[in-house]
Structure 1
Amino acid sequence: MEKPYVRQLKLGPMDNFVYLVGAEGSPEVLVVDPAWDVAAIERAVVEEGKQLVGAFVSHCHKDHTNGLPELLARHDVPVYAQREEVAFSEDLRALAGDALRPVGAGDAIQVGGRSFQALHTPGHTPGSHCLLAGDSLVSGDTLFINGCGRCDLRGGNPEDMYRSLSQVLLKVPDQTRLWPGHDYGQVPVAELGEVRRTNPYFAFPDVASFVQFRMRPRR
């Protein structure tokens, strides 16, 4: 599989990961989930000799989107979000405004002459989606190294999460590198095959057992 350019930035009080993602050898990058410290994101773009050409929003929660107004005030770039999320979230529509570019499941986003794919993975929110770029999957709050996104918040659905993990992400090759939306694991990145072997949320044979485990009372 083709190896893209990925720069991981840990920003904010919730251990968020923000990403710069582009084609290897091209100056063009997307910022995935611009939040918390736009100045730090801009410094990373300059340090790496890159050009910001768009933003990709994995889902609408403000810890992943609170930098959008500041970013868009200084950069005239499109903001890619899943159609279901645009319809679901008034806050996202307000933050991104006319820059919003709704995308559907499997749609391609062109960056640096390469096509990156938006994978619709509902469960955490109705329009959560991941960015598949060559051998890298940027997963937002759908999948973490040792866990998956909560399904008890507004718009969450554990049955959808089960299908996203067991059907959509099951088709992504084992050697794909998983880049999660938060630093919640022992490592910041891991191969998806290893994640599927060790992450407890991949261990359930049916949706009922998954839902029972995922929706158990939080301590």
Structure 2
Amino acid sequence: MEALYVRQLKLGAMKNFVYLVGPRDSSEVLVVDAAWDVPAIERALVEDGKRLVGAFVSHCHGDHTNGLPELLSRHDVPVYAQRAELDFSADLRGLVPGALRPLDPGAELTVGGRVFQALHTPGHTPGSHCLLAQDALVSGDTVFVNGCGRCDMKGGDPEAMYRSLSQVLARVPDQTRLLPGHDYADVPVEAMGEVRRNNPYFGFGDVASFVAYRMRPRG
């Protein structure tokens, strides 16, 4: 039996995935990127007998955060975001200011007695980060099964994205399940070993080639 509990909820108009994540042998869970449909998130908690102990924000964009005010009106829990993202986004700082808990790169969170880690993976935004939870990586918009996050929006940095993929996420074990922030592929979950073999954004050996490919004009 898997040691990790994961509930993947596809919500909203942009094919977002919202996640409930925690140890299978505990009632405690984090919600990752609470957005779009807070009642659906709460129904999942009740159905699975889980108790919300925190909200993890992968990055500041509204399609990943628009449910936070409603969620915080019903649940008194901390909201974890990368310190660099809070420095970058006044909108995020203003969303739930009293609940925010800044995280530094590599910070650890304890949920149900298990330690999860926040991996700082800038590129899509300066403070984008992934949640490494036992055998799963919840990646927000840093990386998808077949792609990676855009780097041409405010705060985007393709060189930082290259380093996030080629250095930080290259070290995640092959068997770790990638849980992306959007349903953009034929499968909703994929092992990181397969992602690194098949995702074209992991195939570049130098930053210049990656940047040219990532920032190429789209038709």
TM-score normalised by structure 1 residue count? 0.98
Corresponding letter in the other structure for 2:141? D
Query: Cα distance, 1:97 vs. partner?
Result: 1.2
Query: Cα distance, 1:69 vs. partner?
Result: 0.4
Which position in structure 2 is the counterpart of 1:5?
5
SS of 2:159 mapped into structure 1: helix
Which position in structure 1 is the counterpart of 2:202?
202
- Assess if the C-alpha contact under 8 Å between 1:3 and 1:136 holds in 2: no
- Assess if the C-alpha contact under 8 Å between 2:3 and 2:25 holds in 1: no
Q: Provide the rounded CA distance (Å) in 2 between the counterparts of 1:32 and 1:208.
A: 32
Unaligned stretches of 5+ residues in structure 1: none
Q: Aligned runs of 1:159-178 on 2, under 5 Å? A: 159-178=159-178
Unaligned stretches of 5+ residues in structure 2: none
Corresponding letter in the other structure for 1:135? D
Query: Cα distance, 1:3 vs. partner?
Result: 3.2
Which position in structure 2 is the counterpart of 1:108?
108
How far does the alpha carbon of each residue in 1:113-157 deviate from its partner, in whole angstroms, 9 at most, with x for none?
111000000000000000000000000000000000000000000
Q: Provide the rounded CA distance (Å) in 1 between the counterparts of 2:3 and 2:203.
A: 29
Question: Is residue 46 from structure 1 mapped to residue 46 from structure 2 by the alignment?
Answer: yes
Corresponding letter in the other structure for 1:211? V
Which position in structure 1 is the counterpart of 2:193?
193
Which position in structure 1 is the counterpart of 2:137?
137
Query: Cα distance, 1:96 vs. partner?
Result: 1.7
Question: Is residue 125 from structure 1 mapped to residue 125 from structure 2 by the alignment?
Answer: yes
- Assess if the C-alpha contact under 8 Å between 2:54 and 2:79 holds in 1: yes
Paired-residue identity, % = 76
SS of 1:185 mapped into structure 2: coil
Which position in structure 2 is the counterpart of 1:33?
33
- Assess if the C-alpha contact under 8 Å between 1:174 and 1:194 holds in 2: yes
Q: Provide the rounded CA distance (Å) in 2 between the counterparts of 1:76 and 1:141.
A: 26
TM-score normalised by structure 2 residue count? 0.98
Count of paired positions: 218
What is the RMSD of the two structures over their aligned residues, measured on CA atoms? Answer: 0.7
Question: Is residue 98 from structure 1 mapped to residue 102 from structure 2 by the alignment?
Answer: no
Q: Aligned runs of 1:145-156 on 2, under 5 Å? A: 145-156=145-156
